[in-house]
Amino acid sequence: MLERFRRFWGALLSPVAHGLLRLGVSPDAVTLVGTAGVSVGALAFFPRGELWLGVVVVTVFVFSDIVDGYMARELGRTSSWGAWLDSTLDRVGDAAVFGGLVLWFAWGGDDRVLMAVTLWCLVMGALTSYARAKAESLGLQAKGGIAERADRLVSVLAMTFFSDVLDLEFLLALTLWVLAVASTVTVVQRAITVRRQSVIATGRQ
């Protein structure tokens, strides 16, 4: 969802980006602070059961992913390093969000089944990103699927917030089960996509 509305949010947050540029703040610094904020918000609040507050903190810093890209484009500094840093730290933030929920279910939440499901979401999310990165390193494409990163992140944050505020625990449980299945399907979809491209490339040789 964030990807689909990146232009909208970019325009909305452009005053913040320009303000940071005037202060001499670099896009890389925004990326690092954003990841630190997401990680602290998830790992400090989720394990203690303060889910809605954790979501608010995480969401504020998640938008740094849009601000840093806007800043880089304004400066004309889009680079391989910036793209690598942004992508790598995205994985750190994702791990913190799902890891914080894993700790909650393992401790205060006392639900070993959802702990395992959340851990599976974390692993499949990382594998989804790896599948794309590895394919691209081989000159192939592995985009798409029914559960891309932005969709996973928005879904889990929104349902974590509402499940806590409305005291409807099933909302988060249902979302995690759906994401576990959808992420697994996405990995399979990307594997099939890469396999097809590989077969075609081999046939041309």
Tell me the pLDDT tens digit for each residue of 90-123. 999 999 999 999 999 999 888 999 999 999 999 9
The 10s digit of each residue's pLDDT in 41-88 is 999 999 999 999 999 999 999 888 778 777 887 777 777 888 888 889
Helix (H, G, I), strand (E, B) or coil at 3: coil
Cα angle at 32 between 41 and 78, to 5 degrees? Answer: 135
Give DSSP secondary structure letters for 90-103. Answer: HHHHHHHHHHHHHH
Backbone angles phi, psi at 139, to 5 degrees: 80, 20
Domain 6-204 bears CATH identifier 1.20.120.1760: yes
Name the pLDDT band for 5 (thresholds 50, 70, 90): low
Give DSSP secondary structure letters for 65-118. Answer: HHHHHHHHHHHT---HHHHHHHHHHHHHHHHHHHHHHHHHHHTTT--HHHHHHH
Q: Which residue has the higher pLDDT, 23 or 191?
A: 191
pLDDT at 10: 61
Tokens of residue 89, six digits: 């730290």
Q: Please state the rounded mean pLDDT for residues 130-142.
A: 90
Among 22-26, 184-188, 191-195, the range scoring the smallest mean pLDDT is 22-26
pLDDT at 77: 72
Pair 163, 107: CB distance under 8 Å = no
Amino acid at 8: F
Pair 187, 124: CB distance under 8 Å = yes
20, 33, 58, 189, 201 from 38: Cα distances, Å: 19, 9, 5, 29, 41
Phi-psi region of 139 (alpha: psi -120 to 50; beta: other; left: phi over 0): left
Q: Please state the rounded mean pLDDT for residues 177-192.
A: 95
Q: From the candidates 65, 68, 86, 90, give the one annotated as an active-site residue.
A: 90
Quick one: what percent of the chain has pLDDT higher than 70?
93
pLDDT at residue 127 is higher than 60: yes
pLDDT at 66: 79
Q: Cβ atoms within 10 A of the Cβ of 41, count?
A: 25
Domains of the chain, residue spans = 6-204
pLDDT at residue 3 is higher than 60: no
Q: Which residue has the higher pLDDT, 198 or 79?
A: 198
Name the pLDDT band for 183 (thresholds 50, 70, 90): very high
28 is catalytic: no
User: Is the pTM higher than 0.85?
Assistant: yes
pLDDT at residue 205 is higher than 50: yes
Q: Cβ atoms within 10 A of the Cβ of 201, count?
A: 12
Tokens of residue 38, six digits: 């997401």
Q: Which of 147, 148, 132, 145 is nearest to 178 (CA)?
A: 147
Q: Which of 18-27, 40-49, 136-145 has the highest mean pLDDT?
A: 40-49
